[in-house]
Structure formats: C-alpha cells, structure tokens
A and B are shown apart, each in its own frame.
Chain A
Amino acid sequence: DTGVSQDPRHKITKRGQNVTFRCDPISEHNRLYWYRQTLGQGPEFLTYFQNEAQLEKSRLLSDRFSAERPKGSFSTLEIQRTEQGDSAMYLCASSLRGLVSDEQYFGPGTRLTVT
C-alpha cells in the first residue's frame, strides 16, 4: 500500500502525559499537512511542511504542540501536557507541489482520547 500511513491508529492517555504521532506520506510528495478533527466538524488545519521546512502553523495552535519533518520524509506531531480538550482525530495528509493548493491525500488518522 503506497498511501499515507499514520501510527498509532488509536491512543489513550492520561491528562498531563505527552504523546507523539507519526505520519509517513506518499513517497514522492513533498508537502505534508497536519489537521485535527472533532466529531461533527470538518478538519482544522494545524501545520504544513514543504520538504523539511515548516512553512505554516495555525495561530490557534498551542505551544504544547510541535511538529517536525526531519529530512523531508516522515513527520511527527507531539502534544505535551495533554488536556481533555486535545481529544480528537489527528489527520495527516500529503500532496505534490503545485502552483496553488492541490488535492491532498489523507491517512487514516490517529484517534486520541485524553482521560
């Protein structure tokens, strides 16, 4: 399967713990995106990488959230000191470079539950 993969698929953690999610994009895609989605809502943009450079970050993103994409391949999203409000589906997507926004290919997501 050459699609976008995410790991783990589910994560249950206690409030205050740190969690890290991984995303492996489609290999030839140089753009990578992280979104958060809560029940009944559309995805909410978190951050965007072109190759290894983090080019955009949502103003709504708390400083407890950090993302990396070393070597422009896989990416990790870390949430420190988790709160119950962080419970959501975390989606990763990748795309190929174009002049303007282009179609994105999504992974299955990581469902985070903070107890």
Chain B
Amino acid sequence: SQQGEEDPQALSIQEGENATMNCSYKTSINNLQWYRQNSGRGLVHLILIRSNEREKHSGRLRVTLDTSKKSSSLLITASRAADTASYFCATDAGESNYQLIWGAGTKLIIKP
C-alpha cells in the first residue's frame, strides 16, 4: 500500500504563477523526499527534508514538513513550462530500512 498521498491529483496554472502541492503520510519517518517525473528525464530527485527540519529551500523550491500532522508541502515559485511534470513524495518507514514508499503523485501542467 502507498504511504504518501499527494493533493491535488492534478494542477494546471499559468506560467509565472506559484504551484503548491501537498503530501500526507501515515507512519513516523526519518525523512521525506520529493521527486519529479516527466517523459524526457524520468524520475529525478528534487529535495530531501529530515524529520527534525521544518523547512528547506532549493532554488525555486520550498518544502515544509509538519511531523505532528504527518504532512509536507512543495512550493514551486515563478513556474516555468519546463516544470510540467508529475511530482511525488516518498517516505521511508522510519525504522532504518531503505524502502521508499511513494504516493500517486500530483500532475502539474504549466500553461504558457
């Protein structure tokens, strides 16, 4: 079964706008990761946030983590057409095993 659940399932915005997508998970974790997948480049790691961190930035990406609510959000600022992709959150099971558990993803479309 999948641990992470992304919300919304699909998001369509104009180029230049900000995009926010959310992820909820069920069990305690060591860290949470966000990945992007498009047909051109496959699955690419974006950012990793550890359970003792609350916010992390990488370029136009901002990730937050709320372990009390078991949720995370990914914000992409000043979106570009190249950001069109599916975005997945992935978590470990929190017990020093290395299996990543994935949600079904948010499909993001950036309209020019």
Contacts and interface: CB of A to CB of B under 8 A. Distances in A.
Contacts of B102: 42-44
B43 interface: yes
Interface stretch (A12-20, A64-72, A73-81, A105-113): A105-113
**Range, interface on chain B:** 20 to 34
A41 interface: yes
Interface in A36-56: 40-45, 48, 50, 55-56
A14 B102 CA distance: 30
Contact of B104 (A33, A41, A93): A41
A1 interface: no
B18 interface: no
Q: Quick one: which of A40, A56, A103, A104 has the most chain B CB within 10 A?
A: A103
A59 to B, nearest CB: 11
Interface of A: 31, 33, 40-45, 48, 50, 55-56, 58, 91, 93, 100-109
5 contacts: A42-B102, A43-B43, A45-B101, A104-B100, A105-B45
Given A48-B99, A106-B44, A108-B42, A101 B30 contact: yes
Interface string B66-81: 0000000000000000
B42 A100 contact: no
Interface of B: 2, 4, 30-31, 33, 42-45, 48, 88, 90, 92, 96-105
Contacts of B99: 45, 48, 56, 58, 101
Contacts of B43: 43, 91, 93, 106
Q: Quick one: which of B44, B45, B99 has the most chain A CB within 10 A?
A: B99
